[in-house]
Structure 1
Amino acid sequence: MNKQKRQAIFERLQAANPNPTTELNYQTPFELLVAVILSAQATDKGVNKATDKLFPVANTPQKIHDLGLEGLKRYIKTIGLFNNKAKNIIETCRILMETHGGEVPQQRKALEALPGVGRKTANVVLNTAFGHPTMAVDTHIFRVSNRTRIAPGKTPLEVEKKLLRSTPEVFLQDAHHWLILHGRYTCVARKPRCGSCVIEDLCEYKEKTE
Structure 2
Amino acid sequence: MNDAKRRLIFERLRAANPTPTTELQYRSPFELLVAVILSAQATDKGVNQATARLFPIANTPQAILDLGEEGLKAQIRTIGLFNSKARHLIKTCELLVSAHGGAVPRDRQSLESLPGVGRKTANVVLNTAFGEPTMAVDTHILRVGNRTRIAPGKTPAVVEQKLLRHVPREFLKDAHHWLILHGRYVCVARTPRCPACPIADLCEFPDKHQPKEEQLSRK
Pairwise TM-score range, normalised by the shorter structure = over 0.9
Structure 2 residue runs without a partner (length 5+) = 211-219
- String of CA shifts for 1:91-144, please: whole Å, max 9, x gaps: 000000000000000010100000000000000000000000000000000000
Partner of 1:10: 10
Partner of 2:163: 163
Matches within 5 A, 1:171-190: 171-190=171-190
The sequence identity of aligned pairs, in percent, is: 73
Matches within 5 A, 1:108-187: 108-187=108-187
Partner of 1:76: 76
Residue 169 of structure 1 deviates from its aligned partner by 0.2
Q: Tell me how far apart the structure 1 counterparts of residues 162 and 7 of structure 2 sit (CA, whole Å).
A: 15
Q: Tell me how far apart the structure 2 counterparts of residues 147 and 2 of structure 1 sit (CA, whole Å).
A: 15
- String of CA shifts for 1:11-52, please: whole Å, max 9, x gaps: 000000000000000000000000000000000000000001
Aligned residue identity for 2:114: L
Aligned residue identity for 1:43: T
Q: Tell me how far apart the structure 1 counterparts of residues 192 and 129 of structure 2 sit (CA, whole Å).
A: 30
Structure 1 length-normalised TM: 1.00
Structure 2 length-normalised TM: 0.96
Structure 2 residue matching 1:106: 3-state secondary structure: coil
Structure 2 residue matching 1:15: 3-state secondary structure: helix
Residue 154 of structure 1 deviates from its aligned partner by 1.1
Structure 1 residue runs without a partner (length 5+) = none
- String of CA shifts for 1:162-196, please: whole Å, max 9, x gaps: 00000000000000000000000000000100000
Partner of 2:65: 65
Q: Tell me how far apart the structure 1 counterparts of residues 192 and 208 of structure 2 sit (CA, whole Å).
A: 8
Q: Tell me how far apart the structure 2 counterparts of residues 40 and 87 of structure 1 sit (CA, whole Å).
A: 14
Partner of 2:56: 56
Structure 2 residue matching 1:188: 3-state secondary structure: coil
Moved over 3 A (4+): none
Q: Tell me how far apart the structure 1 counterparts of residues 66 and 143 of structure 2 sit (CA, whole Å).
A: 40
Structure 1 residue matching 2:195: 3-state secondary structure: helix
Q: Tell me how far apart the structure 2 counterparts of residues 57 and 142 of structure 1 sit (CA, whole Å).
A: 36
Partner of 1:101: 101
Residue 57 of structure 1 deviates from its aligned partner by 0.7
Structure 1 residue matching 2:150: 3-state secondary structure: coil
Q: Tell me how far apart the structure 2 counterparts of residues 177 and 65 of structure 1 sit (CA, whole Å).
A: 31
Q: Tell me how far apart the structure 2 counterparts of residues 44 and 166 of structure 1 sit (CA, whole Å).
A: 28
